[in-house]
Structure 1
């Protein structure tokens, strides 16, 4: 009888032990996915507010735009868009684990027009999120060169450098991956800094006072 009770107790604790191991495995799998970087494989990809194609679109994503995974649900990924800090849903099949080496296609042909559509949608989404548009306008100076007119609160924010790099990468993709420059000025037209191509990564160059 004592042996039988001991066997029941042993089996019970063994079952609990393996169940806890299983839960730990599931948690480690989720944590491994969280924070993973993904890149958009197409232009005008909807960034949904819910994991449902019938839900509202926060703004369209562009080719090679980076997203940071937060969680997965069936065929969907909930992701952070680092330029805006906004979180939305996108279909996993529309993402790549690596940045595409040759953007080409529709984005390259669209150039500034494609980037301006993205820029305007992004600006409107940020206004809804923070109550004010960070950017006043965008204009093309010449081929490969665009200029962003920004409000002072954004230029003074701690995140403006990271935002600027993300905008530059989107501009470069829309530009067909060619040499690109993105200039940032205040509303008075005073250029504050530029982001340009570097040998290995984009460079942030702040204008020196005269």
Structure 2
């Protein structure tokens, strides 16, 4: 008569725990890969920093709930696990939606719509693109020749506020994810800035990502 050998309860518990550890590692691996797949296009294209991009990122991250459910569907307390997973994925999506900076195309579009001081003469336009914002974000700078830089800056700043921009002081304004900076010297990104006509001064108008203190 064959004798059935029952493995010790301790060994069975350790084997079960090991399987759940592997499933947990699998969940983290799926989330990591999915985060890269969702975040990379948003960052590279410069489509982050808006309410729409945040909503898209959150919705895309929630897709990862499907493989997560497959991995934990037999786990005790799986409803709580899924609730926690939902919260984590929403937070990750929210963070992804706000990372990086606007693309150069979006910066250029905003810059082209900014007010110009009365009598201002455009001297040059310079730009730099970096949607990842590793050292600096994408930026477009318009250098103008104006009769008086202080007066021109006040005029442009007043018009920006009228158009819905928020003044942060020191010639800096923000609206949504965009920022505008007014200075009376050529921005450093302009190589060999042209000299204004005799009797005129310069006003530098730079558009980039809004940087709040």
Using the size of structure 1 for normalisation, the TM-score is 0.32
Q: Which has the larger radius of gyration?
A: 2
Where is the helix percentage greater, Structure 1 or Structure 2? 2
Where is the strand percentage greater, Structure 1 or Structure 2? 1
Using the size of structure 2 for normalisation, the TM-score is 0.31
- Structure with the bigger RCO (C-alpha within 8 Å, sep 6+) is 2
